[in-house]
């Protein structure tokens, strides 16, 4: 058994079509320049009157070396199938598409509830693009031959390219042979996910799990057992160290927020030791065990790859402090669940 005190949290972000407003510029700019989508925030009233140049400046979009119009097999988009997730009644979701329809006249946007709905209605057969339906084998097998662009509703594209074995090769061949452009919503939701992750950290540091249990049991005073359990709660943020394993865009944002509260931030990344000024030390991936010994909180934000499969195992958990917390936003396969038990 690992000696470290592990408190595993999985956070999940529901991504709506509202975050995908960059399609306006992709369609409108397809005859001018290629851009990479990277929206950090969204307000529907901001988009109706924005030109392609305004979108590039507003959202700090990066220009590609190759224009969309010059991509092999590319043709102007005439029909785009858009997934419309949400808890509100279906008839109340259509206003989300108005800014797209106004910004790109002549393009048909077809809203669907999910992939099954799109297949049942037969709307994918003659579409040139999809938004939010993902890029898993089930989606790729359902799209028509004219699809040239798939906008994933996820931050990562691991479900597109990390499929295992023959299925992975089949998927990659389809994308390559049909020249399908695949894009994600990376950076669009980093602020919301980072704030949610930090809220969880602060709740744990403040002992909210303990206080919630007391409330359920109608215990309003402190007991001897509570005092023992609370021994690590009387700390101040400036006395804490946060280890970010995976200093990408999300890990960097979590580190920025933690530093603003006074925490010392250390991190690892796979490619280099470079990092923003608020990160006290950036180590390579093989240093994470030594850095874990310093951390009061470990935030896992590594992408799922063959190299990170089962990365957080008994060896890592035993390297952590007994009082440390482990907060994860990464895919499930990165954690060895048997060791976590």
Residues of the chain with CATH 3.40.50.720: 189-340
The residue with greater pLDDT, 176 or 267, is: 267
Percent of the chain with pLDDT over 70: 76
Q: How confident is the model at residue 57 (pLDDT cuts 50, 70, 90)?
A: low
Inform me whether the pLDDT recorded for 44 exceeds 80: no
Helix (H, G, I), strand (E, B) or coil at 330: coil
pLDDT of 225: 56
Inform me whether the pLDDT recorded for 246 exceeds 50: yes
- pLDDT tens column, 252-263: 999 999 999 999
H or E segment to which residue 28 belongs:
helix 23-28
Handedness of CA 72, 73, 78, 82 (dihedral sign): negative
Residue 115's contacts (CB-CB under 8 Å, 6 or more residues apart) are 83, 133, 134, 138, 139, 142
CB-CB contact of 296 with 325 (8 Å): yes
Radius of gyration, CA atoms only, the chain: 23
pLDDT of 247: 92
CB-CB contact of 254 with 261 (8 Å): no
154: nearest Cα among 12, 299, 312, 300: 12
Across the chain, what does the average pLDDT equal?
Answer: 78
Max mean pLDDT among 9-13, 159-163, 176-180, 331-335 falls in 176-180
Q: What's the CATH architecture for 189-340?
A: 3-Layer(aba) Sandwich (3.40)
Inform me whether the pLDDT recorded for 191 exceeds 80: yes
The residue with greater pLDDT, 157 or 77, is: 77
Q: What's the CATH architecture for 17-183?
A: 3-Layer(aba) Sandwich (3.40)
- pLDDT tens column, 208-234: 877 788 788 887 766 655 554 555 566
């Amino acid at each position: 058994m690992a000696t470290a005190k592990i408190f595993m949290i999985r956070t999940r972000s529901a991504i709506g079509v509202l975050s995908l407003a960059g399609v306006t510029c992709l369609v409108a700019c397809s005859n001018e320049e290629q851009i990479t989508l990277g929206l950090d925030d969204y307000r529907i009233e901001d988009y109706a009157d924005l030109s392609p140049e305004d979108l590039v400046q507003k959202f700090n979009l990066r220009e590609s070396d190759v224009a969309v119009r010059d991509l092999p097999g590319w043709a102007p988009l005439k029909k785009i199938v858009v997934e419309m997730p949400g808890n509100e009644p279906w008839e109340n979701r259509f206003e989300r598409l108005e800014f797209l329809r106004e910004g790109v006249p002549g393009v048909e946007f077809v809203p669907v509830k999910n992939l099954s709905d799109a297949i049942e209605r037969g709307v994918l057969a003659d579409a040139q693009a999809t938004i939010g339906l993902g890029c898993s084998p089930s989606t790729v097998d359902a799209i028509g031959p004219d699809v040239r662009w798939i906008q994933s509703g996820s931050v990562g594209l691991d479900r597109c390219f990390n499929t295992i074995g023959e299925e992975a090769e089949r998927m990659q061949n389809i994308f390559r042979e049909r020249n399908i452009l695949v894009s994600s919503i990376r950076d669009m939701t980093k602020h919301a996910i980072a704030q949610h992750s930090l809220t969880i950290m602060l709740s744990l540091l403040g002992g909210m799990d303990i206080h919630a249990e007391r409330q359920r049991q109608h215990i309003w005073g402190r007991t001897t057992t509570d005092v023992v359990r609370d021994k690590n709660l009387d700390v101040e943020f400036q006395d804490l160290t946060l280890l970010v394993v995976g200093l990408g865009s999300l890990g960097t944002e979590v580190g920025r927020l933690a530093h603003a509260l006074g925490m010392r931030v250390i991190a690892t990344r796979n490619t280099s030791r470079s990092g923003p000024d608020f990160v006290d030390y950036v180590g390579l991936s093989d240093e994470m065990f030594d850095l874990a010994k310093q951390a009061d909180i470990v935030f896992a934000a590594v992408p799922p790859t063959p190299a990170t499969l089962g990365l957080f195992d008994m060896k890592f958990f035993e390297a952590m402090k007994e009082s440390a917390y482990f907060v994860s936003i990464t895919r499930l396969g990165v954690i060895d669940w048997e060791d976590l038990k």
